[in-house]
Amino acid sequence: MTSTRREHARDQAVRAAVEQGLLSAAEPVVALLDTAGIRASAAALTSAFAAVTDAPVLHAFAVKACPLVPVLRLLHEAGLGVEVASPGELALARAAGVPPARTVLDSPAKTPAELRQALALGIAVNADNLQELARIDALVASAPTASPLGVRVNPQVGAGTIGALSTATATSKFGVALRDAGAREAVVQAYLDRPWLTRLHTHTGSQGIPLALMAQGVREAYELAEEINTKAGRQQIDTVDIGGGLPVNFASDEETPTHAEYAALLAATAPGLFDGRYALVTEFGRSLLAKHGTVLARVEYTKTSGGRPIAVTHAGVQVATRTVYAPESWPLRILAYDSEGRPRTGEPLVQDVAGPACFAGDLLCTGQALPLLRPGDVVAVPDTGAYYFAHHYAYNSLPRPAVHGFTPTDAGGVAFTTVRRAQTLDEIVAESGGERPDALVRQPLRESVPGAPMEP
């Protein structure tokens, strides 16, 4: 999808959202998803890997990037599977109709119940550590399973520019650290002792990780797979899960890097992994969804402080948590529209765009040059389709915004469909203990006894 097409589709959607009342004084913040754009990204990913290998590839979308059931169903219909990392994410995937055979479970803290459920369903499981592998030993011995099983390894190749998203550092909490003393030998022996271990998993990180570092991590995993297969005297490992992590360009509408560029780099860095002997699993998330989501918010007030114009809007920390708390790592663009949803024109003026939460740091941007915003205008925050509005942060008990998918119509307009409706005030009260307001002030029915069940 070209940046021109993306910009045109977004402009049309903003105008239509205002005209159709999706964004209004009564509902001053909404989120939009470009359905055609999501389909195009899924197709581009599939094509990118089909161009470098004839082996089967399961593209398992990382549910954490956009945990919305209709999005998971759309991607499933586009041929993708899912990667889940919690019981909640698995429940979302199952609600979307994704079959167990196209589901992968990753997590550094799987409980016995989670593992038991996954093995019973036949979901692929990547053990994060050797203690977890011992737990799986007992479960496999007690009941047969169709689950493909593997181990996650940390190649310890280094960090990118965002430490919190760098998962292949010397002290990362994820996987078995291959360069620690004796660790590689222990992993190899674990496979030789368990003929049913047929997968190997690695993931170097995501935003801020250079492609070359990601490719180096994949090559390390491939070399380990070759070592294990050689010592086993057969191809015991038949599938390598290379994780995801393709970074996203937040500076413009250009989609760079692309999945095709990354696939080509991988094939050049570890050619043996793509010669048809190994099936592959990928776990991309942000790179599939980010460019296709936009937050819209009405400007409620404008003011000047210290000579700096400030536009106060209804979108802030509740929908852009990472940007508000770590703006240097997660800067976002702001686009200005007038009250009718048309791109605002005028001489750019440096100004801040603030959110509604009651703390000084609730800012979508500082010092960004925009046409001067006015009350009633609309700001659009592009590139927010992953890890933004789908991950609500309930500061000040601000409600979750509605999410709408949009597609162009044959008549040149825009059609919307609701992905998630806006949260109501009654729902906020209910999830905050509203059904038991006297729970802490009434007299207990009986004295607490150790081991006795608590009052419901």
Pairing of strands 308-313, 293-305: antiparallel
Give residue 452's pLDDT: 62
Q: Which residues pair with 336 in a beta bridge?
A: 379
Residue with tokens 């078995």: 176
Q: What is the pLDDT of residue 453?
A: 62
Q: What is the pLDDT of residue 455?
A: 55
Q: Which residue's entry shows tokens 């759309």?
A: 74
- Burial level of 144, CB count in 10 A (0-12/13-18/19+)? exposed
305-359 pLDDT, tens digit each: 999 999 999 999 999 999 999 999 999 999 999 999 999 999 999 999 999 999 9
Residue 316 in contact with residue 46, Cβ under 8 Å?
no
pLDDT, residue 2, reads 83
Question: Structure pTM?
Answer: 0.94
User: CA 201, 257, 252 angle in degrees (round to 5)?
Assistant: 135
- State in Å, rounded, how far the first CA of the chain is from the last one: 54
Return the C-alpha torsion angle 35, 320, 400, 12, nearest 10.
-40
- Distance between CA atoms of 121 and 106, rounded to whole angstroms? 15
CB 217 within 8 A of CB 169: no
d(CA 320, CA 326): 10
Structure tokens at 118: 């996954």
The answer to whether residues 414 and 16 touch, using CB atoms and an 8 Å cutoff, is yes
What parts of the chain have a pLDDT lower than 50? none
Of 204, 205, 206, 176, the residue nearest 188 (C-alpha) = 176
- CB-CB neighbours of 24 under 10 Å: 12
